Amino acid sequence: MSDARWFEIDQAVAAAVRHFTGAKGLFDRLPGIVPDIDRYGFEMGFMHAMQSGQTSLETALLRILDLYGEAAPTGSRWHADLIARAAHPVGKRPAILGGDAARAADETRRFRSIAAHAYDAFDYAQATRAVESAALLASLLPSEIARFRQAIDP
């Protein structure tokens, strides 16, 4: 199933890795940031980078589903359903994400929802869990996608 659409999938994966890595870099600097206006900028930058990483990851997964001829999830829970579906085989399609990557993607998905809708309530502890998941995704995504590609297009 060699397909030119892998170019866009690879770009989306690279963008997810770049944004999740950038988010971790910003987050690691947060404890020492003063004055408050500078901290505000880092918090907002961090949350935007997390949102961008998650959006890029979802773009890659949606493109893979399209490549495989599989309909994208719909409805109000489509973001969660996408991650859940990517973690399981469907028909002849193997799982796209392994267990660790899927759990990390679900954590970053939950954080993106908070960052997009409750950004005035920045919670460092909650963000810590999410950034650990983002760092894990940044390290796992390229090999997870390569493993999947090899399985469907040896």
CA separation for the pair 102, 62 (Å, rounded): 15
User: pTM value?
Assistant: 0.94
Domain membership flag for residue 54 = yes
Total tally of structural domains belonging to the chain: 1
Domain membership flag for residue 94 = yes
CA separation for the pair 112, 59 (Å, rounded): 14
Domain membership flag for residue 74 = yes
**Tokens 């810590």 map to which residue?**
128
Domain membership flag for residue 104 = yes
Name the strand (E) or helix (H) holding 12: helix 6-29
Residues facing 93 on adjacent strands: 90
Long-range contacts of 66-71 (CB under 8 A, 24+ apart): 66/5, 67/1, 67/3, 67/5, 67/6, 67/9, 68/93, 68/152
Domain membership flag for residue 1 = no
Looking up residue 22, the CATH number of its domain turns out to be 1.20.120
Domain membership flag for residue 66 = yes
**Tokens 């002849």 map to which residue?**
92
Helical axes 99-117 vs 124-152, angle rounded to 10°: 130
- Per residue of the chain (154 residues), give pLDDT as tens: 578 999 999 999 999 999 999 999 999 999 888 888 888 888 889 999 999 999 999 999 999 999 999 999 999 999 999 999 999 999 999 999 999 999 999 999 999 988 887 767 778 888 999 999 999 999 999 999 999 999 988 7
Domain membership flag for residue 17 = yes
